């Protein structure tokens, strides 16, 4: 039973660039949420995708966008990267829009120079 997978594991970008991160949910899950975790902080909710639509959104600017595909996998796009976007980006999957019991992937470590 495959868990949540994310790619790439690490990424280095420069300010102003754009980045796309990818996530495949746990087998049987149809809901994907994305989080940003800065060093020493808890994960901060970016948004949730369910039925290929953004259902919930946290306090993040429009530079952060996403997509969910028919196979439930998801992408997180960040435009016009800032130094402050350097963080661990986590993907979590669940079933039926559930937000309480989520299974997290290992994350993508993004460094913006």
Partner 1 sequence: LAKTTQPISMDSYEGQEVNITCSHNNIATNDYITWYQQFPSQGPRFIIQGYKTKVTNEVASLFIPADRKSSTLSLPRVSLSDTAVYYCLVGDRGGSYIPTFGRGTSLIVHP
- Residues in contact with partner 1 by the rule CB under 8 A: 4, 33, 35, 40-45, 50, 55-56, 58, 88, 90-92, 97-107, 109
Q: Comparing C-alpha atoms, which of 11, 4, 2, 1 is closest to residue 104?
A: 4
Residue 13 or 106: the one with the smaller Cβ distance to partner 1 is: 106
Residue 58 or 75: the one with the smaller Cβ distance to partner 1 is: 58
User: CA angle, corner 9, sides to 5 and 13, nearest 5?
Assistant: 135
- How far the first Cα of the chain sits from its last, in Å, is 37
Q: In the complex, what is the shortest distance from the CB of residue 109 to partner 1, in angstroms, rounded to a whole number?
A: 7
Q: In the complex, what is the shortest distance from the CB of residue 42 to partner 1, in angstroms, rounded to a whole number?
A: 3
């Amino acid at each position: 039973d495959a868990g949540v997978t994310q790619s790439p594991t690490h990424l280095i970008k420069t300010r102003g660039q754009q980045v796309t991160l990818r996530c495949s949910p746990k087998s049987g899950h149809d809901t994907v949420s994305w989080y940003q975790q800065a060093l020493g902080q808890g994960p901060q909710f970016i948004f949730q995708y369910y039925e290929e639509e953004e259902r919930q959104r946290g306090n993040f600017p429009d530079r952060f966008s996403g997509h969910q595909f028919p196979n439930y996998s998801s992408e997180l796009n960040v435009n016009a990267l800032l130094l402050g976007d350097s963080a661990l980006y986590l993907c979590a999957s669940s079933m039926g829009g559930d937000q309480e019991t989520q299974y997290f992937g290992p994350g993508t470590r993004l460094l913006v120079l």
